[in-house]
Every structure is written in C-alpha cells, then in structure tokens.
Amino acid sequence: MRKYSTLLFSALFVSASLFAQEAPKKERQQGHTDQNKFRQLKDVLATPNDQRTASGAPGHAYTQQKVDYVMNLRLDEATDRLYGDEDITYHNNSKDHLEYLWLQLDQNMRAPDSKSPLAESNAARSFQTPDKFVSDNMDKPKAFGFNIEAVKYADGRDLPHTINRTMMRINLPKPLAPGEVFKFKIKWNYLINNSVEDGGRSGFESFPDGNKNYTIAQFFPRLCVYNNVEGWQNMQFWGRSEWALEFGDYNVKITVPADHILDATGELQNEKEVLNREQRKRFEKARKSFKDPVFIVTQKEAEENEKQRTTKTKTWHFKANKVRDFAFASSRKYIWDAMAVNINGKTIMALSLYPKEGNPLWEEHSTRVVANTLEEYSKMTFDYPYSKAVSVHAKRQGMEYPMICFNYGRPNPDGTYSDRVKNGMIGVITHEVGHNFFPMIVNSDERQWTWMDEGLNSFVEILAELDYDPNFNTGNLPKDIVRYMSLDQNKLSPIMSQGDYVHNFGPNAYTKPAAGLYMLRQTIMGPELFDYAFRTYSKRWMFKHPTPADFFRTMEDASGMDLDWFWRGWFYTTDYTDIGIKEVKPLYLTNKPNEETKKIQQQYPSYFARLGKLVYLTTEKKDADKSEIETYISGLPSDKKANLEDIPNYMYQVEFEKPGGLVMPIIVELTYADGSKKRETFPAQIWKKDEHKVKRVFTSSQEIKSIVIDPDLETADIDTSNNSWPKQTTNKFDAFKNKAKN
C-alpha cells in the first residue's frame, strides 16, 4: 500500500465495532480459557532450572555422565558369531547417589523370547507366497540375542545383575556417590543376523560365492543415559525408536580374517600392522587430495582379494574420544577410496567402503557426497570435530554411528541404474553422514523424541542435497508433507509423540519436522535470523543432551522472535494449513456515505462533528468521486505533496479465510493488467485477533487481474482450490501432483 494511502484510509474507515455497546447481562456468554493460537507455550514446556535455562542454554549446574569402554572383539566368519569382552568405567558426574546402573541390550529385541513381534497386530492374509507362509508359520526361532557369559567386578568377582529383555540392571554393592567411578567387566557373544533376510539395523549380507559384508552395530552392552532431572532413560527397545547414549572414550581391538578390509569409529592405531606399504602410500596421497577421491583398494584388487580364503586373522586397533557409540564394517570384498575435506583449515577425511556390486555408482558419488555433507552441515552448525566420516555400502541399510554409517543404493547387475536409485543413494548418504551432527554430537534422546535427530537432520539434509545438485528432489519440502497432513485425523499423531506408537512414522519424524523448519527458515524467520539461532542451538548443545524445550527456547532467544504459535501448532497438534480468499471487493473513493455509515453518524453525531469533512469508500462504481480527496491534497504544503504518490486508480478489499487450524503467514501475489507481479507477505500474527478471517486493502495504479495465495507452495496448504481470485479450475498443487505423476 502506498504511503499516503495508509495514512488517509486509516481515518476513512469507521468500524461499527468501535461503537459496539456492552451486551446486556442476559446475553453474555460464559467465560473461557485462553485458546488463542498465539498464547505462550509456558504451560507446556518444562520449568527452567539451574541445569536448563529459560534461554535454552545449559545452566550453570548442568551435568552429564561419562562412560569409557575398553573392548576386545572377535568376528568368527564361519559361524557368523561375534565374541566380545569389555571393561567399563562409569563416571557419576551427577549430584545423585546411584543405587544401580542400567545398560542396553539391543540385540535382545530379536531374541527368541522377544516381545517385539507380539506387540504388533497381525491379521491373517488371504494370500501370500509359500516361502512367506513357511517363514511366518513354520520357521523355528533363530538363536539371536545376547548371550551374556559373565558380568564381573573389576577384580573378577561376580557382579549381581538382572536382565529385563532389552535392559540390564547392574546392582551396585553400595550407592555410587557424586564424583565417584565404578568399574566392571562384561563378556558376551551373539549370533549375527543376516540383515537382508532377517532384517535389522546391522548384521551381514551374504553373496552367492559365500563372501559376506559385515556392518556391525548395537553389538555390545552399553550404558543408558542418566540425568538429574529425568533419571534413567531405560525405556525398552521395541525396534523402532533408537537410542539415548552417554559420551565417553573407546579403546577397541577387532580381530577379523586377515584378508578383510575394516574401518570403524575412531582413529586407527596400528596402520603399519594392518595396511601394506602401497595402501599406506595411497592414504598419504588421499590426505592431500581435496578434489577427487584416491583409491586405497581398487576394484581390481578387491576382486582378487574376494577370491581368497584364509584361516589367519588380523587385529585392527581403534581409539575414539568423546563419542556416544561405536560401530565397524568388515569384508574382503571392499573397494576403499578417500579424499580430504577442508573444514575451516582443518583436514577431515571422507572415505567409502563398498563391494564391486556398488559400482559404478559408488565410486562416482559416495565419497564426494560425504565431503559435501561435512562442508554444508558445518556451515549450518559447527565445524565437524572428528577426523573422518566413512560411508559403507550395505544392501538394505541406512543407519548412522559416530564417524561411520551404512547406506543402501545398488545398481543393476550390469552396472546400470535409474535416477531414482542414484538419488536415493545420494540422499541416504547425506542423511546418515549428517547424523554425525544430530544426534552423534548434538546428543538428543532418540528413544523419546525421534524428530530431534531425524527431523533436524532431514532439514539440514535438504540444504546439503540442493548444494550437491540444485535440481535434487529432496522430498522434505513443505509441499511434500501435504498429502500426509491431509490424511484422516485417526492416522495422524503430533510430532511431539514418542516414536513407538505414532502413525506414519516416516512423515511424522522426518518429513514434517524438516518441512516445518524449512518453512521457518525460508518463509517465517528468514535465513539470517534462522541460521544464527540454529547455529547457536547446535553450538550450545555440542556433546550434551538437549530436550525439545532447549531447542524451542534457543531458537526464540537467539532470534528475538516469538515462535510459540509455530511450535504449538506444528509440533503439538495435527492441525493443517488451509488459507484461502473468501471475497474480493473493488472499492471506490466517494463523497457519499453508505446507509450503514449514515446510521452510525446519526448515533454518534458529536464524534463525527469533531472529525469534520470525510471521504468514503464504496463498492458502487457509479458513486465514484475523487474530488474531495483531490481538494484535500491540493491544500497540503508543497513539502508534504512531494512525498505523495498519485491517487490510486484501483482499490480492492480482500477477505482471507482460514478453514485450517494452523495460523501461517499469508503470502500474496498480485498480477496486474500489464502482466507485472508483486508479492507481499503478511506475518502469521495477522490472525492474532481473529483466526477465522482477516481483511486487507490493496491499492494500485492499474487493475489487478488476479490474486494468488502461497504461489510457491511454501506453507503446506492442503487445499489450494481457494487460493486464487478469480477462482482457478485447476489449482497449482493439483498441477504439481499431475506433473510429478508424469
């Protein structure tokens, strides 16, 4: 709206509500609690304290535990069994006396007596393949799950313990006081699952020639998180919601067949013992190659190596400090390449391990995608603090661990692949490498709040993928969540739900949070404010345990924006966006009041007498008359006239409606008679007094031919049939869907 028009029209409109009389007592409604969409979130978020402040930062009394592991592991390829023993040192940094310790036994989720399969509804199917029928109804349970051989004090005495499915309680001889350390030992083994046939987040793939690709994780008893506010996080692992883990230092030796290539979390300590001279020479070259990957093991060498079978073994030794987990991958089939990445002057190594079945796709993209991910995530958060990031090819996996991840994406046997396979691989590598930041460093509780790692990670993934390929279809933009948000409400759960019981887990935990944060950055806050606040959150909670409240509060504290309306609507409800144009009225200047205004003038004569001469607006073109406003302007001093633009030739009052429950900014695109366009964004706060309808007046020197709301599908509006004036027969989102189908 032009400058002079704003000043004048504020005096021209006389609202009947200004003169509304108090309703008689008998007509008054009962009182109600505040249900305004912009009410504060203080009634929902945890009360700030000396450990978690109202600003979203860790408080002066914040503490967290530390757990150190020394492990010796042996992989028996002949029996697919992993043997291990560990020395655990638990540091009680809390203010509490601990009567016991809780450990996670994740492999017990697939044990013969696991309750996980029994917790699923399983109706009879009218048809299925014979092998499916046999596997579901006739197969004997496999002997998966941890076989705990011994739990002992550091001096070798038996340590009392209790196993409750996927959790184990260590019964301490006396409460562990604040500042004290407790050391103990566990010896175990377990049968490794075939991740292709049996499923699972780790395991092995078996190839026709008998070779195997081992991607091993959740393989050792490991401590649960304890904090002063919430106590132990010892919720059972049902197979979906992932892990809450403590940081610590790892010293791990892994014995595998001597012809295997292996990589893992941490720094390799015995490079000369496990790599030959040529491999070490190539590694030195890779540490200086910032443009292209360098092969440590070529495909030809891998193909020769996989023909071998040796009974000899080799032990790989890794150390890792300040990590929350440990994983490794081992196979004689691996091709191995690496390149250097410059992160603010620090050299980080990007690496890939993959069998020949992954080529040519993997050698073309994997390590480059790793490097790109480290660069882009570091820009949005903090400089990547570890020394390396490894991408390992596994047929049906997409899982993340500190410094190493397992990723799918396999070409056809003849080496050809579709764009879908390629983009799927690029997407999963970006996503899993990105998990190094969330939750491997910004260490949220995945068991309770899946979105805090998956959603935040999926959001930054969008930016990294678009940097790698500007035309990349991320699948996590606001337009991509529309179908999900349009579902029957019985199939929807708020984002702020524990992951084991939510409907449509993927959209709920990944896409909706990511799309919401993208919307927050691009449409609501703007990149500058958002990026500063997001970096502040990331840096505040590096190597710590943030909660949702810490994220919400930091984003507001660091940006100076009240976003409670957004958190409440997008994260705590299943409301949806639907904003439309209800009515457009052309307006004309006139010297004649309409009948409604005449009645008000008669009712309040003294008020109008003080106002003096007035100009009015009418919807009747025949009553148009600019003479009064022209007379007024002609009488203004020359300096004021100089600041005015021409009297508008066209005026329109637009009434916006909001059938949906969410408040969102109104993005309006005006198209003029000459084909030019103009956009204006009204903040979500435009709905603060009336969440059902609002009105705005648009003025111009030429006729407005059309008005469109949200022309670029930025707000996840589920029904765009009401987004246009004049109304379009085919809405933009339908056109987008039709294009996607083709």
Please say if the pLDDT value at position 236 is more than 60: yes
Helix (H, G, I), strand (E, B) or coil at 253: strand
Please say if the pLDDT value at position 167 is more than 90: yes
User: Residue 8 — pLDDT band, cuts 50, 70, 90?
Assistant: very low
Separation CA 294–CA 337 (nearest Å): 5
Question: Residue 450's pLDDT is what?
Answer: 96
Separation CA 274–CA 263 (nearest Å): 11
User: Residue 140 — pLDDT band, cuts 50, 70, 90?
Assistant: confident
Separation CA 118–CA 104 (nearest Å): 20
The pLDDT tens digits for 644-684 are 998 999 999 999 999 999 999 999 999 999 999 999 999 99
Contact in structure between 106 and 90 (CB atoms under 8 Å): no
Contact in structure between 408 and 424 (CB atoms under 8 Å): yes
Please say if the pLDDT value at position 232 is more than 90: yes
Please state the rounded mean pLDDT for residues 322-327: 98
Please say if the pLDDT value at position 94 is more than 70: yes
**Nearest alpha carbon to residue 474 among 411, 404, 522, 406:** 522
Contact in structure between 265 and 143 (CB atoms under 8 Å): no
Q: What percent of the chain has pLDDT over 90?
A: 86
The DSSP bridge partners found for residue 223 are 103
**Nearest alpha carbon to residue 458 among 437, 487, 486:** 437
Helix (H, G, I), strand (E, B) or coil at 714: coil
Q: For the chain, what are the domain ranges? A: 61-119+136-246, 445-574, 580-740
Neighbour tally for 649: CB within 10 Å: 12
Residue type for position 364: E
Please say if the pLDDT value at position 460 is more than 80: yes
DSSP string for 324-389: S---EEEETT-EEEEEEEEETTEEEEEEEEE-GGGTTHHHHHHHHHHHHHHHHHHHHS----SSEE
Contact in structure between 374 and 435 (CB atoms under 8 Å): no
Contact in structure between 438 and 453 (CB atoms under 8 Å): yes
Taking every pair of Cα atoms in the chain, the longest distance, rounded to a whole number of angstroms, is 105
Contact in structure between 356 and 295 (CB atoms under 8 Å): no
Give the CATH H-level superfamily of domain 445-574: Neutral Protease Domain 2 (1.10.390.10)
Question: Residue 81's pLDDT is what?
Answer: 98
Please state the rounded mean pLDDT for residues 479-499: 96
Please state the rounded mean pLDDT for residues 299-324: 97
Question: Residue 25's pLDDT is what?
Answer: 60
Question: Residue 138's pLDDT is what?
Answer: 79
**Nearest alpha carbon to residue 523 among 344, 709, 689, 706:** 709
Question: Residue 731's pLDDT is what?
Answer: 55
Question: Residue 304's pLDDT is what?
Answer: 97
Average pLDDT, whole number, for the chain?
93
CATH topology of domain 61-119+136-246: Immunoglobulin-like (2.60.40)
Separation CA 495–CA 648 (nearest Å): 47
The pLDDT tens digits for 332-382 are 999 999 999 999 999 999 999 999 999 999 999 999 999 999 999 999 999
In degrees, rounded to 5, the angle at the alpha carbon of residue 740 between the alpha carbons of residues 735 and 742 is: 100
Residue type for position 177: A
The DSSP bridge partners found for residue 182 are 90
**Residue with token string 């930062």:** 57
Q: What is the DSSP letter of 176?
A: E
Separation CA 292–CA 283 (nearest Å): 13
Distance in Å from the first CA to the final CA of the chain? 41
* The two three-digit tokens of residue 464, written as one number: 């990294």
The answer to whether the 61-119+136-246 and 445-574 domains have the same CATH topology is no
pTM of the model: 0.93
Q: Where are the alpha helices (DSSP H) in 541-682?
A: 548-557, 564-566, 572, 595-603, 605-611, 627-634, 638-642
**Residue with token string 């790989």:** 316
Contact in structure between 704 and 719 (CB atoms under 8 Å): no
User: Is the dihedral angle over the CA atoms 521, 524, 527, 528 positive or is it negative?
Assistant: negative
In degrees, rounded to 5, the angle at the alpha carbon of residue 479 between the alpha carbons of residues 474 and 482 is: 120
Phi–psi pair at 211, nearest 5 degrees: -70, 160
In degrees, rounded to 5, the angle at the alpha carbon of residue 463 between the alpha carbons of residues 462 and 464 is: 95
User: Residue 119 — pLDDT band, cuts 50, 70, 90?
Assistant: confident
